[in-house]
Amino acid sequence: MKIIQSLILAFVLGLFFSCTNDDASFEKTISYKIEAALLASEIPSNEDEDLEIYGEISVDIELDKNVLEEKVLWSRNRENYIIVGKTEVMLDNQIDFSIDKNNIDSSSIRFRAILKDYDRNNELDRLGTVFFRHQLTRQPQEIELKFNNTEGNTVIARFKIQPIRD
DSSP letters of 30-59?
Answer: EEEEEEEEEEEEE--TTS-SSEEEEEEEEE
Determine the pLDDT at residue 149.
Answer: 78
Q: How far apart are CA 94 and CA 161, in angstroms?
A: 10
> For residue range 39-85, what is the model confidence (pLDDT) as tens digits?
887 776 555 678 889 999 999 999 998 999 999 999 999 889 998 98
Q: Where are the domains of the chain?
A: 28-165
- The model's confidence at residue 126, banded by pLDDT at 50, 70 and 90, is confident
- Worst-scoring range by mean pLDDT, 16-25, 115-124, 150-159? 16-25
- The model's confidence at residue 159, banded by pLDDT at 50, 70 and 90, is very high
In CATH, 28-165 is 1.20.120: no
User: Cβ(30)–Cβ(166) under 8 Å?
Assistant: yes
User: Cβ(40)–Cβ(84) under 8 Å?
Assistant: yes
